Amino acid sequence: MTRRERLTRIFEGKLPDRPAVKLWAVRPNQPMLHPAYEPVYRAAVATTDLVLSGGSAFNLYWGRVSAKVCTHRETPTHSEEWVDVIQEAHTPEGVLRSVHRKSTVGKPGYQQEYMLKEPKDIKRLLAFPYEPYLFRADRHWDSERTVGDRGIAMFGLDHAMYGLQRLIGSENFALWSLECRDLLAEAMAVFAERIRAHAIRAFDAGLRPIFGWVGPELCIPPLMSPADFDTFVFDVDRPLVDLIHERGGRVWLHCHGKMGPVLERFVDMGVDVLNPIEPPPMGDMTLAEAFERVGDRMGLEGNIETHDLMIGTGEQVRDLVREAVAAGSGKRHILCTCSGYMEWPYPEDRFIENLLVYIEEGVRFAEEK
């Protein structure tokens, strides 16, 4: 099979010729965060099953009027490696303000101050007039042309629960789920409708893509209960998944963490491929155990922890890859790292070497199956 055919069959609920092998976040012609990543990039583009991201302009909160509603400015911090990005949304009832500490050298950032600080701020947010962007399919078609038979293109969507949670923060989100649950549900319903309308515009433009989104990991145990997951994720996302399937699309979903309490709910939701199925101790089940529970009802993408690539020996990484490929052989499996490969600006030699072991041995073991 071509790389495109292999991934397509997995999303369509069919068995591929062998497990697919993916390096998360690699794409042709991407700039290097550090020169050391270059050989990893070349090997991945040449041999792994590629998934390119695309989409159309979208803003969950204000749509195309976001530039008029929000202002952004950067202020220096104690270090030249960091600046604070201050965002202010100007509402009739006052200013909603957030502060994000951004790295100037490519490190992960930190949220210093969340925009929604008390429940009444949700009402302020929803009071804004919303006007969607004009839909453009050119980015998706560009991704399709770029990837060709080397893989697939994925159309990115925002997520209703995550869209609200990221303005609130985990602590207040958990507290407000007890104190003003109906208000959270009201906001998510509004956001969900905007996302569904965006997906419909994609279908109306002639696309039949794989849609992908992230966020459910912020509404699973231990911080949130399985009942919260049902209310804020399953019940909100299921109509979107049904719509996508009815119109001929497929669904990829990302959820870190311990999947034990919620794994079958993703199956019931209709997810076609779930990522990243982390192994213990970050997760709570092996890949083999996860497949025992879902069978052929859902594809699984994972489950090589990036931390193991950073600290393990080459032989340890080889064993992890061999074990994962064996667990996914004869199943709808995409071998994948549990996060992007180029998310740290100062990679050590061991990490680069292990990434190359992952690619070379992953493809070799998969082809032997």
- The CATH class that applies to domain 3-58+132-368 reads alpha beta
Cα gap 2→235, rounded to integer Å: 37
Q: Residue 109 — pLDDT band, cuts 50, 70, 90?
A: very high
DSSP per-residue string spanning 38-75: HHHHHHHHHHS-EEEEE-----TTTBTTHHHHEEEEEE
Q: Which two tokens stand for residue 137?
A: 């399919």
pLDDT of amino acid 237: 98
Cα–chain center distance at 315: 29
Whether 136 contacts 213, CB under 8 Å: no
pTM greater than the 0.85 cutoff: yes
Distance from the Cα of residue 324 to its chain's centroid:
21
At 94 the pLDDT is 85
- Does the pLDDT of residue 369 top 80, yes or no? no
pLDDT over 80 at 43, yes or no: yes
Are the C-beta atoms of 147 and 52 separated by less than 8 Å? Answer: yes
pLDDT at 91: 83
Instruction: Please compute the mean of the pLDDT values over residues 12-27 and round it to a whole number.
Output: 97
pLDDT in tens, 20-38: 999 999 999 999 999 999 9
pLDDT tens-digit readout, 45-93: 999 999 999 999 999 999 998 888 899 999 999 999 999 999 999 988 8
Q: Nearest 10 degrees: CA dihedral of 37, 24, 214, 8?
A: 150
Per-residue pLDDT band at 184 (split at 50, 70, 90):
very high
The pLDDT assigned to 248 comes to 97
Confidence of residue 291 (pLDDT cuts 50, 70, 90): very high
Residue 201: pLDDT above 90? yes
Over the stretch 235-270, which tens digit does the pLDDT of each residue have?
Answer: 999 999 999 999 999 999 999 999 999 999 999 999
Report the percent of the chain where pLDDT is more than 70: 100
CA distance 283 to 304: 11
Q: How far apart, in whole angstroms, are the C-alpha atoms of residue 366 and residue 75?
A: 49
Q: Which residues of 325-356 are buried (b: 16+ CB within 10 A; e: fewer)?
A: bebbeebbbbbbbbbebbebeebeeebbbbbb
